[in-house]
Structures are given as C-alpha cells and as structure tokens.
Amino acid sequence: MALVQFRDGNSGIVVGEQPAAGTSISSKARLNGINLLVSAIAVALIVWALYWIVDWAVIRAVWTSEDGSACRVADAGACWAVIHVRWRIILFGLYPYDEQWRSAAACLVIVVTAILSCTRPFHTLARLTLLWLVGFGSFIALMRGGVLGLSSVSVNDWGGLSLTLFIFAAVSITGMPLAIMLALLRRSRLTLIGKTTAIIIDVVRAIPLLAILFTVGVIIPFGLPDALVGEKLYRVIAAFSLYFACYQAEIIRSGFQAIPTGQEEAAQALGMSYRQRVAYVLLPQAFKAVLPPTVNQFVITFLETSLVVVIGFFDVLASGNAAFGTAKWGIAKIEVYLFVAAIFFTFTFSLSRYGAYLERRGAPNAAK
C-alpha cells in the first residue's frame, strides 16, 4: 500500500515538472491546447449522450402497445407503452379500479391544500389549522368512503401517489409544531426539561428510520392490547412525525442561536409575554435564518416516505415495482423508474423552488 502511494506521488511530481521545464509562453500555449482538447472531448461526449437519449426516449420509443410485444422487437427504444397501460397501478396502487377517481381527487385535495397554505391569506395559525383540518378531512372522506354514498375502501388498499402525498403532508403538518415545541423545550430555563428534551432528540436521531418504522408497524401490535394499537397507517405517521420533528427541532434551535439576545430583551422590555415573544419575535427570525436547511429537511422527508414499503404500504415507488412485476412488462423496469423519478422530481423540485422564492422574498430585510 505504502509503495503504491509512493509511486503515485513520484509520478505526480514528474508530470508536474514537465510544463515548468519549457518557457512560460510555450507552456501557456500547451495549456491552451489541452483546454481546447478537453473542451472538445466534453462537448462531443455531451452531444453523443444527448443524441443517444433522444434516439432512445423519443425516436425509437414505443408509445403504445397493449401487451408490450412491440417493446420486445430488436431495435425498440424506450417502452413508454408500460406507462400508457399501467399508469393507474403506479398512481393508485391497489385502490379499487372503479373508485380510482376518488384517489385522484384526494391527491388534488392535498396539493391544493398545500399550495393554499403557501399563500399569504392563510398565514395565521387559526386559518392554517382550519385549512388543513378541511384538507385532511376531505382526503380521508374521499379515500376511506362510507360517507356521502361513497363505498368504503380499507386503508390497506390505499396506495400509490395519494398515499405518498398523504403520509408526507401528515408528517409535515404534525411534525412541524412538534419540532417547534421540542426546540422551545430544549432551550427551557429549567435545566431538567432542557436536558430531558435533548436526550429524547438525541435518542430518536440515533435510531435509523427503518428501525423506527419497523417497530411501530410490526412489533408494537404484538406488545399492546388491540384497543391501544390503532390503525397501522396512523402509527406510522406518528412515528415518522416524531422522527422528522427531532431533526427539524435541531434546525430550529440553530435558528434561535442565530438571534442576538438583545431581541428577546427588547421584546421583554416592551412587556410582551413569552408566547408573544416566541410567535412574533423569535420564530419569524429563526425560520428566516434556517430556511435552506428546513426546505432540505422537507425534501428528504418526501423522499423517505418510500421507506414505508418495508412495513407493507404501497407508496408510489412500490406501486411502480408492481407495474412492471409481470411477465409482459418485466422489460420496462427503467421506464417505470424514470416515470416514478419524474413524479418525485416534480414534487421535490417545486418544494425547493418555493423555498428559493421565500428566500428572495425575505431578502430586502435580511440584507445588512
């Protein structure tokens, strides 16, 4: 090992000496030549890759084929037919075929609720709470049925995109207040409370999410009486939410630390109560300071929702697996994954764009 390293180092020196040996002008010219060559190669590679992708994904692609036979001819490109034929499985999982419009409507409800909660008029606690109660209420009514003449569908049959969105939205909406609470408790002036919260946060962060999900999904039902167990989906959301909150609490805490102590003193001197100081002085400044890592945390959480597959939930990625899991469509694995990736990308990219917009909006007053 040491010998190899020694030889590497040696040859590096020799290569390094060569340009230095010539006059500075010729070495510059040679460098320019190398630059040009490297650029030309890079451009050629990119053009070739682009051509290959367009050729595969568009020119030679198979757009429709009821049974996938057209995808199996020798020079067939991307098999988009799989999406055409199986998109409902990918988006809706095992949800009853005739009722899938409900699952689509439920997705729409969550997306609209999320977009509305990003707009100014809903930026008060009361309105935001009401909005999400209505949003989740209609989501559950649509998905579960049993009301307004909708036939009932078991939670075990929920799946696909609506399940992914529901888990993500529920985790975010319950996890964020929990995170704020943990962050506030952690900076409590009573050391016992502060220390206990710190230990809880550190313990949860030390356990892999997979282990947590497995525990609440599979192990807890064995240990507890049925009445206490509750529905698996909600146990998973609760655990996921705690996990999210512990990470987000640390992010918020770092935001608190970025605020000069004079801010809280000024608010105290004006007679503002603890709650008022937290709501109007501390949290707005803390969130502004930690906006980028917070958006990051949301994006990670969105991607992590696909881990629920380990305890038997059919999120959109798992339903994607089901879509090519037959003899007919086994060849179209990549196409399905690309499609699912595009769905994930749409959501996470929108999240980060919204984050960037918030940062820009906050810019004038953040500037020193």
Partner 1 sequence: MIRFTAVNKFYGGFKALNAVDLIVKEGERVVVCGPSGSGKSTLIRCMNQLEQHDTGSIEVLGRTLGDDLRATDQIRKDVGMVFQSFNLFPHMTVLENCMIAPQLVRKQAAENAKDVAMDFLNRVHIQDQASKYPSQLSGGQQQRVAIARALCMSPKIMLFDEPTSALDPEMIGEVLEVMTDLAEEGMTMVCVTHEMGFAKRAADRIIFMSKGEIVEDGAPDDFFASPKTERARSFLRRLDLTPSTH
The correct pick among 96, 145, 284, 325 for binding partner 1 (CB under 8 A) is 284
Closer of 149 and 364 to partner 1 (Cβ): 364
Closer of 289 and 317 to partner 1 (Cβ): 289
Stretch that binds partner 1, among 7-15, 216-224, 269-277, 336-344 (CB under 8 A): 269-277
The correct pick among 36, 44, 270, 300 for binding partner 1 (CB under 8 A) is 270
9 binds partner 1 (CB under 8 A): no
Stretch that binds partner 1, among 122-130, 265-273, 304-312, 319-327 (CB under 8 A): 265-273
Written as one letter, the residue type at 126 is: A
Task: Provide the minimum distance between the beta carbon of 172 and partner 1 in the complex, in angstroms, as a whole number.
Answer: 23
Q: Round to the nearest angstrom and report the end-to-end CA distance of the chain.
A: 52
**φ, ψ for residue 119, nearest 5 deg:** -95, 150
124 binds partner 1 (CB under 8 A): no
The correct pick among 11, 35, 151, 273 for binding partner 1 (CB under 8 A) is 273
* Count of residues interacting with partner 1 (CB under 8 A): 24
In the stretch 220-259, what mask flags binding to partner 1 with x, by CB under 8 A? ----------------------------------------
Closer of 257 and 273 to partner 1 (Cβ): 273
**Cβ count within 10 A of residue 97:** 9
Measured at the CA of 325, the angle between CA 320 and CA 331, to 5 degrees, comes to: 95
Enumerate residues 59-78 that contact partner 1 by CB under 8 A.
none
Binding site for partner 1 (CB under 8 A): 260, 262-263, 265-273, 276, 280-281, 284-285, 288, 362, 364-368
